[in-house]
Amino acid sequence: MNENDTEKMYILLSDEYEPTQNPEEADLILINTCSVREKPQHKTYSEAGRYKHLKKKKPNLIIGITGCVAQQEGENIIKRLPHVDLVLGTQGFYFIKKALETFRKTKKPVILTELKPDFKIPLILEKENTSIFPNKRVTAFVTIMQGCDNFCTYCIVPYVRGREISRAPEDILKEVKELVKKGVREITLLGQNVNSYGLKEKGYPDFADLLDMVSKIDGLWRIRFTTSHPKDLSDKLIEIMANNPKICKHIHLPLQAGSNRILKKMNRKYTKEDYLRKIEKLRNAIPGISITTDIIVGFPGETEEDFKETLEMLEKVRYHEIFSFKYSDRPFTVAQKMSNKVSEEEKKRRLKKVHEVQAKITKEIYESYVGKEVEVLVEGLSAKSKDMFMGRTTTNVIVNFKAPRLDLKGALVKVLIEEAGKHSLKGKYLETLKI
């Protein structure tokens, strides 16, 4: 979501600025930030501090901090870092043009951190010939909702991104159509909790219907979405995923913890049994679907027994990949005030254990692809080796492969998998299916 917000700012600024890789050359430096855990928040301050000396050399340089840390910290940022000129929160960054204008006039820091519950996400489309995205893009994100009403007790998101607001379906469709016109083949619909899309609004489709509407767009080949909350994953959505060939066979379904006691303390509103039932339904309806998840270790009060239940869930579900984190105290949250915090050392140990258990499962799953033919949407050249292409399977596994032709970016190809790596597969190009 942060990446998508950054893209929006690029588009908004594209008539005035062009991107540079070199901070010394920049007239404007924006640091878009995440505050979901403490570490990225610290990074904001160190990153912003790094640009202080540039301002001495170039007094007209404008420095701004945007996104969740800006939202969380507000004017504290200016107090700690007086060389910062703009502090634009998660709704405020949409008004970057206006903020710049005000700053140029007043030369005083501009802070936009109001969160309006009735905020409407503006429709920002790339203008012709002002593209800041160099080559043609194959995949793109589209934000369908902002904010969250779930208040998981560890999570800062509801406080820094505000109440859940769904975007109008017409705007979403318009944005997807524009991207497809520019050559995009795969869209990832974004929201903190996409399964509750439209439910608060009168006359909006629900998420399953929205997927169906998006899938009718000609020239769009693949649709992904993230993130799903297990409590809101409906049978209707599973059915649409099973029947609509454009929807990728992958779901990111954050479990967070395997112990019902901890899930309750986290305010997740499902039990591990509920979760496993949904997994079974998904697997029955969509054979071969890949499932990924988020795990937090060391939530306050998590005992060794609780933790073992998380490991058991990894073995039971057999995720393709997981994202795992040490619990991190966040301001405003309920968990921050809980007792029985788990020590840093213990959290480290548990995280390591989670990595070990999952590495084995991922390896086994990836090895099961060897010898199979898969469809890959080619995103471009591989980052590691310039004579290889990179793309993804419908199950969201990265595939690197060599091919005898050079015009494959954006094509859907068939690849024979020959080798499994830690987080990717290697294979041989067989044929082009669609271009």
Size of site (CB under 6 A) for ligand SF4:
10
Cβ neighbourhood burial of 242 (10 Å; 0-12, 13-18, 19+): middle
Q: Which residues neighbour 411 within 8 Å (Cβ) at sequence distance 6 or greater?
A: 377, 378, 432, 433, 434, 435
Torsion region of 390: left, alpha or beta (phi above 0 gives left; psi -120 to 50 gives alpha): beta
Give the Cα separation of 411 and 394 in Å (integer).
14
Torsion region of 332: left, alpha or beta (phi above 0 gives left; psi -120 to 50 gives alpha): left
The nearer residue to ligand 5AD, 320 or 330, going by C-beta atoms, is 330
| Chosen from ligand 5AD, ligand SF4, none, partner binding at 158 (C-beta under 5 to 8 Å by type) | ligand SF4
The nearer residue to ligand SF4, 148 or 317, going by C-beta atoms, is 148
The nearer residue to ligand SF4, 253 or 408, going by C-beta atoms, is 253
Supply the minimum distance, in Å, between the C-beta of residue 262 and ligand 5AD. Answer: 13
Instruction: State yes or no: residue 112 binds ligand SF4 (CB under 6 A).
Output: no
Supply the minimum distance, in Å, between the C-beta of residue 269 and ligand 5AD. Answer: 14
**Per DSSP, what are the bridge partners of residue 111?**
87
Q: Which of 192, 259, 292, 382 binds ligand SF4 (CB under 6 A)?
A: 192
Q: Which amino acid is at 238?
A: I
**Per DSSP, what are the bridge partners of residue 415?**
374, 429
Task: Confirm if 69 and 37 have CB atoms less than 8 A apart.
Answer: no
Rounded-to-5 percentages of helix, strand, coil across the chain = 35, 20, 40
| Chosen from ligand 5AD, ligand SF4, none, partner binding at 325 (C-beta under 5 to 8 Å by type) | ligand 5AD
Cα angle for residues 185, 20, 78 (degrees, 5° grid): 105
Question: Per-residue contact track with ligand SF4, 221 to 260, x per CB under 6 A?
Answer: --------x-------------------------------
Instruction: State yes or no: residue 194 binds ligand SF4 (CB under 6 A).
Output: no
HSE-up (13 A, CA, CB side) for residue 435:
8
Supply the minimum distance, in Å, between the C-beta of residue 62 and ligand SF4. Answer: 31
Instruction: State yes or no: residue 151 binds ligand SF4 (CB under 6 A).
Output: yes
Check residue 296 and report its DSSP letter.
E
The nearer residue to ligand SF4, 8 or 252, going by C-beta atoms, is 252
Task: Confirm if 250 and 205 have CB atoms less than 8 A apart.
Answer: no
The nearer residue to ligand SF4, 64 or 162, going by C-beta atoms, is 162
Q: Which residues neighbour 364 within 8 Å (Cβ) at sequence distance 6 or greater?
A: none
Q: Which of 65, 96, 148, 220 binds ligand SF4 (CB under 6 A)?
A: 148
Supply the minimum distance, in Å, between the C-beta of residue 388 and ligand 5AD. Answer: 30
Task: Return the beta strands (E) in 97-154 as ranges.
Answer: 110-112, 139-143, 145-146
Supply the minimum distance, in Å, between the C-beta of residue 364 and ligand 5AD. Answer: 24
Supply the minimum distance, in Å, between the C-beta of residue 394 and ligand SF4. Answer: 25
The nearer residue to ligand 5AD, 159 or 197, going by C-beta atoms, is 159
Q: Which amino acid is at 154?
A: Y
The nearer residue to ligand SF4, 270 or 369, going by C-beta atoms, is 270
| Chosen from ligand 5AD, ligand SF4, none, partner binding at 327 (C-beta under 5 to 8 Å by type) | ligand 5AD
Q: Would you tell me which residues interact with ligand 5AD (CB under 6 A)?
A: 36-37, 154-155, 254, 256, 294, 296, 325, 327-328, 330
SS3 395: coil
Supply the minimum distance, in Å, between the C-beta of residue 226 and ligand SF4. Answer: 11
Give me the helix-helix angle, 272-285 and 235-243, nearest 10°. 30
Instruction: State yes or no: residue 411 binds ligand SF4 (CB under 6 A).
Output: no
Cβ atoms within 10 Å, residue 28: 17
Check residue 4 and report its DSSP letter.
H
Supply the minimum distance, in Å, between the C-beta of residue 348 and ligand 5AD. Answer: 13
Supply the minimum distance, in Å, between the C-beta of residue 360 and ligand SF4. Answer: 27
Q: Which of 87, 112, 138, 157 binds ligand SF4 (CB under 6 A)?
A: 157
Check residue 30 and report its DSSP letter.
E
Contact footprint for ligand SF4 (CB under 6 A): 148, 150-152, 155, 157-158, 192-193, 229
